[in-house]
Amino acid sequence: MPLSEQEQRLLEEMERSLYHNDADFVATVNPNRGRPNYRVLVVGVLVGVLGIATLVAGVIVRQPLVGILGFAVMFVGVLLIFAPPRTGSVPPPKESPTQGKPRGGSSTFMSNLNDRWEKRQDGRE
């Protein structure tokens, strides 16, 4: 079920606020929000398939060293597929002109949440 326009705006506002207020946390949790590197993905799959083929060939010819080598090649292929990229982090989205400005004289959603959190931490609520 797709999000409504209000929910999408709210989600975008929360994301901008997160990037603005806690950029270190965002960089730690999700260092690369960009597109996956399909070239590395394809190479990883091909290396994995080659490793499986080598493993099967080692079993067929009854050579444990060939099977072990096949397993190692297969493992490297899987690491290539699932390892995070080393470079190319994407900068946070640009802030909209209305960001940080209260709408209609009221505070924003995130500032309300922050105020509630601070009250809870102070024991006032």
Is 48 inside a domain boundary? Answer: yes
H helices then E strands: how many in the chain? Answer: 5, 0
Q: How does DSSP classify residue 114?
A: H
pLDDT exceeds 80 at position 36: no
- Considering the domain architecture, whether residues 23 and 47 belong to the same structural domain is answered as no
Is 99 inside a domain boundary? Answer: no
Residue pLDDT, tens place only, 86-125 = 655 555 555 554 444 545 445 588 888 888 888 887 776 5
Is 43 inside a domain boundary? Answer: yes
Cβ–Cβ under 8 Å, residues 114 and 77 = no
Q: Which of 50, 65, 84 is the last residue of a domain?
A: 84
- Considering the domain architecture, whether residues 29 and 58 belong to the same structural domain is answered as no
| Domain ranges, residue 19 | 1-34
Cβ–Cβ under 8 Å, residues 34 and 89 = yes
Is 23 inside a domain boundary? Answer: yes
| pTM listed for this prediction | 0.46
Nearest to 47 by CA among 15, 79, 24, 90: 79
Nearest to 9 by CA among 113, 108, 117: 108
Distance CA 1, CA 62 (A): 54
Count up the domains in the chain and report the number: 2
- Considering the domain architecture, whether residues 17 and 44 belong to the same structural domain is answered as no
